[in-house]
Amino acid sequence: MVADASPAPAPGPAAGQREARRRAIADGAPAIEVEGLVRRFGDFTALDAIDLSIREGEFFSLLGPSGCGKTTLLRIIGGLDVADGGVVRIAGQDARTIPAHRRPVNTVFQSYALFPHLDVRDNVAFGLRMKKVPEKEVRTRVERTLELLQIGGFIDRKPSQLSGGQKQRVALARALVNEPKVLLLDEPLGALDLKLRKELQVELLSLQRRLGITFVFVTHDQEEALVMSDRIAVMRAGRIEQMGEAEAIYERPRNRYVGQFLGEVNLVEGRAERRGAGDLLVQTALGALRVETRPGDPAREGALTLAIRPEKVRIATDGAPGENRIRATVEQVIYIGAESHYRLRAGEIPFTAYAMNASAGAKEIEEGQPLLLELPPAALKVLED
Amino acid sequence: MAARTRRPEIRFGEHLTWAGEIARSALTSGPAIAWVSTFLLLPVLGIAFISFLSRGTYGEIQLPMTAGNYLRLAGFGVLGFDPQYPVIILRSLVLAAGTTVVCLVASFPLAFFIAGLAGRAKQIALTLVVIPFWTNLLIRTYAWQLLLGPDSLAARAAVAVGLAEEGMPLYPSALAVYLGMLCAYLPFMVLPLYTAVEKIDWAIAEAASDLGADGVRVFRHALLPQVMPGMVAGVILVFIPATGQFVIPDLLGGAKTVLLGNAIQQQFGASRDWPFGSAIALVGMAVVLFGLWFQARAGARTGEEGPL
């Protein structure tokens, strides 16, 4: 899309900023390495043998529902909790014996945890003063950081005199002023309303790009993770279900859990029938579907499940020949403005399709209407379960 | 007829007549005002008045009005300067301050310990803190005499480790006095402190640690400010009654020294000098009030919320 719109030639060394960033991160040294990390609370296993490696300068998200262990993992990296087994290395150094107050990381807490008895200036200066930084330097660095986060005007206020968004910025400033190697963020936008949240997402992202600090970001909001992250680890019950670039996780989910956690997904059960080079024919209740496979896809025989995202389901307008066509009935039309969501039923299988409302005028698809759908072979993905 | 059946009805927030306003005020704040006036304000005014009168030959209170009681209290008596009474006041303040410090030191670990207990154990621990109050103060204090007596376990243990000589009781001594004071005033410190510890936001302690504060500095910068209101309440609740305490120092300290409490008692009792006793009482009260006012002012300046 970008390549089409811009006059600059797309191919060659200028393959795009994103590719350059991707390569720079991949070449970077590991900022955080976690190996076989285990944490138990009584009988409950909060973290079950977690392995991951976060590169310098990366924006890495831990995504999962509450209770999946993402916050526990963050706390162990920050030194606020102790693992029952496994290794954490920060910048190549075994961090197990380094107490929290000597780790080169800082945390932005979900509740902000600002010092209620200190004003904004002293809150932000706290970390520098603990490190005995000369007071003159403290002053300039605090002011510079507050300026960076656009809260210079609140320097004399107490936390109780700030709004949620301002507290959030102070919490960020208080951590960033220490110039940590890694910034740990525990659902930092969780307490804010949607509009402010979106604004701060963009701001946080540009801040991270500008400062080049590694961010480890904990969230349960899949959209937030997709918008901001270089890579995402999707967690469930103390394990990492899938780890990879935001796009890969969304487009090529490994299993039902990942597919369903990151937005909506249509599932079709079937049997593998014939495997070709780069594709697979699957017999389903909706007929035979051809699936384009990629290296790394699970090589399943027999019964399997296919997944396709609702926005990839095409509504075919006429009887012209096409691949993977199925018949469905419209059960409900949900008009959202820019797009409409169609709740469909194909045989026994519930289906969802999203379509942009590109044409002017009234709704074209009515409830109860039969519809011809096309499932592009490249958009179908074989799941592991 | 109609006027007689109408009952005066008072509703809150309603616009009232002048008489209604008076009636409402009398109903709501009246009892408290009457109580405080009768049992606090009038007696204090009485004492203030008496403190400017003179003592008659047989201990009666009589004219003329004089400031002599205060001069005598300040040390300017008939026999020249003698700082006996300023020393008594100072001694009482030192004892109260010492008691407060001992209570604070003992209460901090105890409050954190109790706050860390699980539900049922916590209830039991809090009950145990309060239980000594079910026994009369005098009985408790005499009990300490037995516990610290010449043949007591504590005394023998002290001899064994070389802290005391054979057959020597641990009382009367400063140790015994402070033990008795601690025992009497500990709950007044523990309970408000525990309430504050219970409400601590531990994320703030974690934040401090995350920002480079070691254990001591986490306590000082993240925990202490949070428990400060409870601590101040405890200090006031211990310090004020401790300034007037004399039974415990007498029974466990050997009745060798005079404190504010027994100085007042002596004047109103044996010496039959009510005017002078009133002057001592009033000055003692003034010193304590000044201390509280100073604390509140200092608190307001640093932005801490004091209890006043």
In chain B, where are the structural domains located? 85-302
The CATH H-level (homologous superfamily) assignment of domain B85-302 is: MetI-like (1.10.3720.10)
* Residues A345, A328: Cα–Cα separation, whole Å: 5
Residue A316 CA: distances (Å) to CA of A324, A332, B147: 11, 18, 96
Report the Cα A210 to chain-centroid distance in Å: 20
pLDDT in tens, B175-196: 888 888 998 899 999 999 999 9
A126 touches chain B (CB under 8 A): yes
Average pLDDT score over chain B: 83
Give the CATH architecture of domain A264-382.
Answer: Beta Barrel (2.40)
How much is the average pLDDT of B212-236? 91
Give, for A304, the enclosing helix (H) or strand (E).
Answer: strand A303-308
Instruction: Give A215's contacts (C-beta < 8 A, 6+ positions apart).
Output: A58, A59, A60, A182, A183, A185, A204, A208
Say if CB A45 and CB A68 are below 8 A apart. no
> If you measure CA to CA, which chain A residue comes closest to B304?
A117
* Residues B294, B95: Cα–Cα separation, whole Å: 20
Percentage with pLDDT > 70 across chain B: 89
Contact across the interface for A106 and B210, Cβ inside 8 Å: yes
Q: Is the pLDDT of residue A122 over 70?
A: yes
B82 touches chain A (CB under 8 A): no
B301 touches chain A (CB under 8 A): no
Q: Is the pLDDT of residue A53 over 80?
A: yes
Q: Tell the burial category of A67 from Cβ atoms under 10 Å away from its Cβ (0-12, 13-18, 19+).
A: middle
Bridge partners, A14 (sequence order): none
Contact across the interface for B211 and A127, Cβ inside 8 Å: yes
pLDDT band at B168 (very low <50, low <70, confident <90, very high): low
Contacts of B214 in chain A (CB under 8 A): 99, 101
In the stretch 320-379 of chain A, residues with CB closer than 8 A to chain B read: none
Q: How far is B211 from chain A (nearest CA, A)?
A: 5
Contacts of B206 in chain A (CB under 8 A): 80, 100, 107, 109, 113
Say if CB A112 and CB A168 are below 8 A apart. yes
In one-letter notation, the amino acid at residue A320 is A
B161 DSSP 8-state letter: T
Bridge partners, A55 (sequence order): A30
A132 touches chain B (CB under 8 A): no
Q: How many CB pairs under 8 A join A and B?
A: 69
B208 touches chain A (CB under 8 A): yes
Residue A48: both structure tokens together = 């079950």
The full 3-state SS of B122-159, as one line of letters, equals: HHHHHHHHHHHHHCCHHHHHHHHHHHCCCCCHHHHHHH
Could you report the predicted ipTM of this complex, rounded to two decimals? 0.82
Long-range pairs of B138-142 with CB within 8 A, sequence gap ≥ 24: B138/B247, B138/B251, B140/B180, B140/B183, B140/B184, B141/B180, B141/B184, B141/B247, B141/B248, B141/B251, B141/B252, B142/B251
Closest in B201, B214, B221 to A113, CB measured? B201
Contacts of B304 in chain A (CB under 8 A): 117
How much is the average pLDDT of B117-125? 91
How much is the average pLDDT of B224-246? 89
* Residues B188, B193: Cα–Cα separation, whole Å: 9
Let me know the angle formed at the C-alpha of A73 by A241 and A46, rounded to the nearest 5 degrees.
70
Residue written as tokens 């008692």? B265
Higher pLDDT, B297 or B201: B201
Q: Nearest CA to A289 among A301, A265, A272, A303?
A: A272
Contact across the interface for A107 and B210, Cβ inside 8 Å: yes
pLDDT score recorded for residue B192: 94
Q: What is the DSSP pairing of strand A266-275 with strand A105-108?
A: unpaired
Contacts of B212 in chain A (CB under 8 A): 101-102, 127, 130-131, 178
pLDDT band at A368 (very low <50, low <70, confident <90, very high): confident
* Residues A364, A36: Cα–Cα separation, whole Å: 54
Q: Tell the burial category of A210 from Cβ atoms under 10 Å away from its Cβ (0-12, 13-18, 19+).
A: exposed
Say if CB A15 and CB A67 are below 8 A apart. no
Instruction: Give A310's contacts (C-beta < 8 A, 6+ positions apart).
Output: A264, A265, A266, A341, A352, A353, A354
Q: Nearest CA to A48 among A56, A58, A40?
A: A40
Q: Is the pLDDT of residue A10 over 80?
A: no
pLDDT band at A2 (very low <50, low <70, confident <90, very high): very low
Say if CB A252 and CB A354 are below 8 A apart. no
pLDDT in tens, B125-138: 999 998 888 888 88
B199 touches chain A (CB under 8 A): no
Contact across the interface for A115 and B303, Cβ inside 8 Å: no
Q: Is residue B250 classed as helix, strand or coil in its secondary structure?
A: helix
Contact across the interface for B212 and A131, Cβ inside 8 Å: yes
pLDDT score recorded for residue B11: 62
Contacts of A158 in chain B (CB under 8 A): 303
Say if CB B282 and CB B51 are below 8 A apart. yes
pLDDT score recorded for residue A125: 95
Residue written as tokens 């060394």? A13
pLDDT in tens, A63-88: 999 989 999 999 999 999 999 999 99
* Residues A318, B75: Cα–Cα separation, whole Å: 113
Say if CB A255 and CB A213 are below 8 A apart. no
Contact across the interface for B204 and A115, Cβ inside 8 Å: yes
pLDDT band at B17 (very low <50, low <70, confident <90, very high): confident
Residue A91: both structure tokens together = 């910048």
Q: Is residue A238 classed as helix, strand or coil in its secondary structure?
A: coil
Q: Is the pLDDT of residue A6 over 60?
A: no
Q: Is the pLDDT of residue B173 over 90?
A: no
Long-range pairs of A290-295 with CB within 8 A, sequence gap ≥ 24: A290/A323, A290/A324, A290/A377, A291/A377, A291/A380, A291/A381, A291/A382, A292/A377, A292/A378, A292/A380, A293/A382, A294/A252
Percentage with pLDDT > 90 across chain B: 29
Lowest mean per-residue pLDDT among A122-126, A136-140, A278-282: A278-282
Contact across the interface for B212 and A78, Cβ inside 8 Å: no
pLDDT band at B2 (very low <50, low <70, confident <90, very high): very low
Q: Is the pLDDT of residue A385 over 60?
A: yes
Q: Is the pLDDT of residue A274 over 90?
A: no
How much is the average pLDDT of B76-82? 72
Does residue B298 come out as left (phi exceeding 0), alpha (psi in the -120 to 50 range) or beta? alpha
- CATH of A25-254 given 3.10.105.10, 3.10.20.30, 3.40.50.300, 3.30.70.20: 3.40.50.300
Contacts of A131 in chain B (CB under 8 A): 212
pLDDT band at B170 (very low <50, low <70, confident <90, very high): confident
Q: Is residue B237 classed as helix, strand or coil in its secondary structure?
A: helix
Say if CB A37 and CB A88 are below 8 A apart. yes
